[in-house]
Amino acid sequence: MDKLILIDGNNIIYRAFFAMPPLTNTAGKPTNAVYGFTTMLLRLIEEQKPTHMIVAFDAGKVTFRHEGYQEYKGGREKTPPELSEQFPMLKELLRDLGVPQFEIGSYEADDIIGTISREADEQGRQVLIVSGDKDMLQLASEHTTIALIRKGVTEVEIYGPEQIREKYNLTPEQIIDLKGLMGDASDNIPGVPGVGEKTALKLLHQFGSVEGVLAGTSELKGKMKEKLEAHAEDAVMSKKLATIHREVPLEHTWEDMVFTGLNKDTAGPALAKLEFKSLLERLSLSANGPAGTGAEGDSTPEAELDITIIDEANLDELLTKLPGISALHVETNGDNPHRSEVIGLALSSEERHYFVPISLLKSPAADQLRAWLSDETTPKSGYDLHRADLALHWQGIPFAGAAHDVQLAAYLLDPTEANQNLNDLTAKYGLPHLSADEDVFGKGAKYKIPELEVLGTHVARKSATVLGIVQKQQQELIDTAMKGLFEDLEMPLSRILADMEKQGIAAHKEDLMELGKEFEWQISKLVTEIYEICGTEFNLNSPKQLGEILFVKLGLPVVKKTKTGYSTDAEVLEKLAPYHDVVRLILQYRTIAKLQSTYVEGLLKEISPVTGKVHTFYRQTIAATGRLSSQFPNLQNIPIRLEEGRKIRKVFVPSEPGWSILAADYSQIELRVLAHISDDERLKEAFLQDMDIHTKTAMDVFGVTADQVDSNMRRSAKAVNFGIVYGISDYGLSQNLNITRKEASHFIEQYFEVFQGVRRYMDDIVVEAKKKGYVTTLLERRRYLPEINASNFNLRSFAERTAMNTPIQGTAADIIKLAMVHMDKALFDRQLKSRMLLQVHDELVFEVPADELELMKTLLPEVMEGALKLSVPLKAEVSYGSNWYEAK
């Protein structure tokens, strides 16, 4: 079956340009857009296996659309020169890859694609259109689907007529009417002012088309009617502009579009010229011309590896080879490493790969192998060694000697790239593809461990992959100045986290159940009362049903809407409370129900029957800022702000009699970090004198003395301080303080008048991010912000706030991680029995024996405060008690 792919060249290269971090060849020429385009193209070829393909480009500046409307695409920002110069590079590359390309004077890529897809349609051929432009949806048909590129160039949504109906309840043809009514700012198509997507959809569902709407205005009234009548011509013209021209005079034949695979003779040299080494390797092409094997632009075939499945008979052979082994992979099932089982262990040396099934690994015959596994002087690389350590631990197999964790390194190299599994990394580093775990094991209920041969081969390929990545990552870490961060902070921390998690924190089950009974009783009382007042029973946990009761039955005013209906969140309910007594009760119900389901029932399920403790799992590779996250259960969001919830903390107790819970938290760490990196004199002054920072801010912003600061002024100052850390916007502050945007903006202005160093930092960091494409923390942790130069206001603003926030939040994360490493060493050096149990972003929790309490009360804050030397002091406040609640 023939399959034709039509690619909107201009659109994709644009998106690739803004989605990719800046990337240049050794001569300093930007190549990022070409690179992004090419990776997408190769993936398409691999996944779709097209028999025909073209890339269409816009030709020239003036198209037939300008004849009727000169302002078409007016007001658009000029194409950045860094992108312009990549067009010829891309066209040359496509030629060398053997991918046909089309452009024709005075028409746009859309029109070429529209014309070819019409012809293909008429001949019943299968077509896939690739673009980021929603307008393309008008071309969908029985045989034609559209792959809409969403985020960056990696995610696509596939649309056929069916999906368009589901999403908009429109036919593909009506997409044109939609744009006719709503216009398109980026193309300078006016549409009807005041009509956005929502209104346009409503009108089209009622009248069917632009013409239908204009003919039917008599059925409408008010502003809407006026607007439509006044702008009838605009609507008609906009529709015309949005219509893809499907009769372009093209002189082409079906044969001109044939694609039989990459041109092996020229593809290699072309990619080499652009210095796309990873793509060269991925395609196993050589820079000098035709390559030996498997270069169809298809996935690199799975490598032929020398794999030995180990049993008792050949175990000795493996043991002799151990000195040459540096990479391993521990295969486990399930997400929770405290509960999952180890299935097997793969080991890799440069020459050979081995797989040891779990049964053998646990047997006495494997003593020597296990000794090697637990030997900290034999360095081992792997993917997610932290998880492996835990899973092995619960099977009674100790692990030590983690040298290079490929997952952790990948996270440091790009912390925003979500969940980089080994498969993603093979693509990135041009290594042979792995089968997806899903294909080997099946998923969900169908999960099944395959036969030994298949299993061993799959897992051994993973350790082989690790082996292939380590050196490359080492070099990248050096190039990005993150080697120190990796070796001296993150790798040591990963072992410390594993220790904390194995240790767990004791939770008093009976007390928790007792608390649950209390909540149960309160819930049933509240529920009865609420049903009675409302005069009906319904599911209080359903926002949908609750909305129905509040806004329809009781007729309360609608404050806020969500995508799917009425909003009933706490903010809305607070506003509704004065109107009806039941609202307060609902708020109370929500509070208690949350405590009951998440914290009582949720925690009960997580208390290990084996240890009587809760063993969380810290994830070191999730948060883009460098923070940790906690799962199964999340122990970083145990209630504290409200007394009812805070009681939950009473169930967390020391695991040995006579011991105490000791906790210390950093005071205002983020604002202290800000004082340091902004070098703002007044902010530094405040911390050097150890003043209450919010009161001090209020004094300076309102120009009053300390005793003139009332609680309201302090509250405002506190909100401004928060806002500053988050990357302030007047809108955000106005929401938080419930004031007008203007007042908020005035506040911010006053703040910056006083704290000019902070203003300078905020300005500078954004400029720096725009220039470099990333921001860093004090310890050189990096976060890329590809959207910092986006033309879309929202995307750009978000990236700008992130640029302001990440160095602050991230440096604070660096500091507490340092403190953990130092503290671990301090405990070891002094041979103390005290144990580190939890980290909650700016707080560390320990359990300590009575005879170490006095020492720990001074040691802990000392180590935390001395973790990193800043231009202002760090401050840690320590407290202790017989449980976590008391340690406040």
Closest CB to DNA among residues 473, 630: 630
80 contributes a contact to DNA by CB under 7 A:
no
Contacts to DNA from residues 342-381, by CB under 7 A: none
User: For the window 634-673, what string marks contact with DNA as x by the rule CB under 7 A?
Assistant: x-xxxxxxx--xx---------------------------
Closest CB to DNA among residues 61, 563: 563
- Residue among 124, 563, 578, 869 that touches DNA (CB under 7 A): 563
E strand intervals along 650-794: 652-653, 660-666, 774-776, 782-784
Closest CB to DNA among residues 321, 741: 741
Q: Is residue 174 within 8 Å of residue 242, measured between CB atoms?
A: no
Residue count, binding to DNA (CB under 7 A): 74
CA distances from 170 to 177, 205, 573 (A): 10, 8, 36
Structure tokens at 21: 């971090």
Contacts to DNA from residues 827-856, by CB under 7 A: 840-843
Structure tokens at 538: 């319904």
Q: Is residue 359 within 8 Å of residue 315, measured between CB atoms?
A: no
> Which of these segments, 312-320, 401-409, 629-637, 697-705, binds DNA (CB under 7 A)?
629-637
69 contributes a contact to DNA by CB under 7 A:
no
Instruction: Supply the DSSP string of 448-477, one letter for each residue.
Output: ----HHHHHHHHHHHHHHHHHHHHHHHHHH
User: For the window 691-720, what string marks contact with DNA as x by the rule CB under 7 A?
Assistant: ----------------------------xx
503 contributes a contact to DNA by CB under 7 A:
no
E strand intervals along 170-263: none
Contacts to DNA from residues 763-792, by CB under 7 A: none
Q: Is 453 exposed, middle or buried (CB count within 10 Å of its CB: 0-12, 13-18, 19+)?
A: exposed
Closest CB to DNA among residues 218, 539: 539
Structure tokens at 511: 């007390």
Burial 828-837 (b: 16+ CB within 10 A, else e): eeeebebbbb
CA distances from 658 to 277, 615, 648 (A): 61, 22, 21
625 contributes a contact to DNA by CB under 7 A:
yes
521 contributes a contact to DNA by CB under 7 A:
no
Closest CB to DNA among residues 711, 794: 794
- Residue among 186, 475, 562, 879 that touches DNA (CB under 7 A): 562
Minimum Å gap between C-beta 318 and DNA is: 37
User: For the window 467-496, what string marks contact with DNA as x by the rule CB under 7 A?
Assistant: ------------------------------
Measured in residues, the chain has a length of 888
User: For the window 717-746, what string marks contact with DNA as x by the rule CB under 7 A?
Assistant: --xx-xx--xxxxxxxx-xx----------
Minimum Å gap between C-beta 137 and DNA is: 19
Minimum Å gap between C-beta 720 and DNA is: 7
> Which of these segments, 12-20, 315-323, 396-404, 590-598, binds DNA (CB under 7 A)?
590-598
Given strand 402-405, what is the order of strands in its sheet?
307-309, 353-357, 342-348, 327-332, 380-382, 402-405
Burial 840-868 (b: 16+ CB within 10 A, else e): bbbbbbbbbbeebeeebbebbbbbbbebb
337 contributes a contact to DNA by CB under 7 A:
no
Closest CB to DNA among residues 479, 571: 571
Minimum Å gap between C-beta 638 and DNA is: 6
> Which of these segments, 236-244, 365-373, 461-469, 625-633, binds DNA (CB under 7 A)?
625-633
Contacts to DNA from residues 158-187, by CB under 7 A: 185
* Pairing of the two strands 3-8 and 52-56: parallel
Contacts to DNA from residues 800-819, by CB under 7 A: 801-802, 805-806, 809
Q: Is residue 246 within 8 Å of residue 262, measured between CB atoms?
A: no
CA distances from 276 to 25, 271, 429 (A): 9, 5, 11
Q: How far apart are CA 724 and CA 864, in angstroms?
A: 24
417 contributes a contact to DNA by CB under 7 A:
no
CA distances from 258 to 2, 9, 51, 99, 126 (A): 10, 18, 6, 9, 14
Closest CB to DNA among residues 354, 599: 599
User: For the window 592-621, what string marks contact with DNA as x by the rule CB under 7 A?
Assistant: --x--xx--xx--x-------------x--
Query: To which H or E segment does residue 765 belong?
Result: helix 756-772
